[in-house]
């Protein structure tokens, strides 16, 4: 009987041992993510490929900025930012210098331009011609322990203006002295306009520098304005403006600059009297007292109520008060000039000679 029950006993012992083995060798829970908590990522993170030659599909995800990501992920891009002219090529390399990342990829707003993900430690994104003004490009990496990190590539797509022109707003023709006017500088189809700086000039003197607050990335046309109050000294000067795209250290060595045409200023002023209110002139000299203006005003001189012509050779008879009647583009003005006629240098020398002769005659009479 003992022999008959032995196989049954052995079977029970083996079953008991299997149950105990299952209870003792319960597998440990998986390690948590060492890159981001699981809650910080979407639930549809791609599974790793079963075959190295078949890349997984890439779901949308929220990327971090370069500064915040580098503190947690050893990801880099070269260059770190891109400034590219519209329709020019661009090439950027994304790399993970450390192990522990099973997949590296790019997410680009233009899906057809995104390279397939790789299990290598670097991946190049290259575009032959950038034609998207609002292009976004993010490099991401998946961790061996779950989770992911990413770095967003700053991209500026620029275009120099088609044309820059300057004009007087709501005005044509000459300006009037001491009146206010507005200069308009129109910059046509430039991008991004938020990087544009416009400088107004009078001759070679900078008047003012302005920047746009527009955040539009596509080409736009914008008008910048500056008020001026011209004086007679500004007659004949040239006004112009200059548009510069400030693209930073990653931009072209020489920033794109375009100048407007020169605007020749014509300022109407006057009449103005160009001589003192008390005028001294010597005998025999011409009486000079000009009246200026733009355009040249009409001038009539009066003395004792009679219109007179200014003498070309002054004498003491020409001394006295004169009234100057003027009429110009800005109106009529009257001026008063008091003229004093001094003895000529030749007359004074003649008197001195007569005085010396008289002294000599008196001395000779005394000696006799």
Over residues 253-291, the pLDDT tens digits come to 999 999 999 999 999 998 989 889 899 999 999 988 999
Does some domain include residue 283? yes
Same domain assignment for residues 329 and 284: yes
Q: State which of 104, 125, 157 marks the end of a domain.
A: 157
Work out how many domains the chain is built from and give that number.
3
Q: State which of 101, 122, 157 marks the end of a domain.
A: 157
Does some domain include residue 317? yes
- 192 CB contacts (<8 Å, ≥6 apart)? 156, 157, 158, 215, 216, 217
- Other CB atoms within a 10 A radius of the CB of residue 331 amount to 10
Same domain assignment for residues 287 and 333: yes
Average pLDDT over residues 33-49: 37
Give Rg (Cα) of the chain: 46
In the sheet that holds 148-153, the strands lie side by side as 101-108, 137-143, 148-153
Same domain assignment for residues 118 and 137: yes
Same domain assignment for residues 189 and 209: yes
Q: Which residues pair with 156 in a beta bridge?
A: 83
Does some domain include residue 364? no
Does some domain include residue 44? no
CATH (domain of 200): 2.60.40.10
Q: Which residues pair with 300 in a beta bridge?
A: 325
Same domain assignment for residues 125 and 203: no
pLDDT at 43 over 90: no
The tokens for 17 are: 């041992």
Same domain assignment for residues 207 and 139: no
pLDDT score for 161: 98
Q: State which of 216, 235, 265 marks the end of a domain.
A: 265
Same domain assignment for residues 261 and 274: no
CA distance 12 to 316: 154
CA distance 272 to 328: 9
Mean pLDDT of the residues in the chain:
80
Same domain assignment for residues 253 and 183: yes
Does some domain include residue 17? no
Does some domain include residue 25? no
What is the pairing mode between strands 278-282 and 331-342? parallel
Same domain assignment for residues 121 and 212: no
Average pLDDT over residues 76-103: 92
Q: Can you give the residue range of the structural domain that contains 190? A: 163-265
H or E element at residue 36: none
Burial of 52 (0-12, 13-18, 19+ CB in 10 A): exposed
Q: Please report which confidence band the pLDDT of residue 57 belongs to, taking 50, 70 and 90 as the band edges.
A: very low
Does some domain include residue 257? yes
Same domain assignment for residues 253 and 171: yes
Does some domain include residue 212? yes
Percent share of the chain, pLDDT over 70: 73
Same domain assignment for residues 190 and 126: no
Same domain assignment for residues 281 and 331: yes
């Amino acid at each position: 009987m003992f022999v008959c029950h032995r196989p049954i006993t052995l079977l029970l012992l083996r079953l008991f041992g299997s149950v105990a083995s299952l209870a003792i060798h319960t597998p440990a829970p998986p390690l948590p993510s060492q890159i981001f908590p699981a809650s910080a990522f979407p639930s549809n993170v791609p599974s790793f490929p079963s075959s190295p030659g078949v890349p997984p599909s890439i779901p949308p995800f929220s990327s971090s900025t370069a500064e915040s990501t580098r503190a947690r992920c050893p990801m880099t891009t070269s260059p770190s930012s891109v400034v590219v002219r519209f329709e020019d090529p661009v090439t950027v390399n994304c790399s993970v210098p450390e192990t522990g990342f099973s997949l590296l990829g790019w997410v680009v707003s233009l899906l057809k331009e995104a390279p397939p993900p790789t299990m290598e430690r670097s991946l190049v994104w290259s575009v032959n011609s950038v034609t998207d003004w609002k292009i976004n490009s993010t490099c991401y990496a998946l961790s061996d322990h779950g989770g992911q990190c990413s770095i967003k590539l700053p991209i500026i797509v620029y275009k120099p203006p088609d044309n820059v022109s300057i004009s007087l707003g709501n005005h044509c023709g000459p300006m009037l002295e001491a009146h206010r006017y507005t200069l308009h500088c129109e910059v046509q189809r430039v991008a991004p306009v938020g990087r544009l700086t416009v400088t107004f000039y009078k001759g070679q003197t900078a008047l003012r520098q302005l920047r746009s607050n527009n955040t539009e990335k596509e080409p736009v046309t914008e008008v910048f304005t500056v008020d001026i109050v011209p004086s007679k000294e500004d007659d004949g000067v040239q006004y112009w403006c200059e548009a510069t795209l400030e693209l930073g250290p990653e931009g072209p060595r020489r920033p794109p600059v375009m100048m407007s045409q020169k605007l020749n200023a014509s300022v109407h002023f006057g009449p103005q009297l160009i001589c003192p209110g008390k005028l001294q002139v010597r005998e025999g000299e011409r009486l000079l007292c000009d009246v200026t203006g733009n355009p040249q005003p009409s001038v009539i001189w009066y003395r004792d109520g009679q219109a007179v012509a200014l003498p070309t050779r002054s004498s003491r008879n020409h001394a006295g008060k004169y009234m100057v009647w003027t009429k110009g583009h800005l109106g009529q003005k009257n001026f008063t000039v008091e003229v004093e006629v001094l003895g000529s240098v030749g007359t004074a020398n003649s008197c001195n000679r007569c005085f010396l002769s008289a002294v000599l005659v008196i001395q000779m009479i005394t000696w006799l």
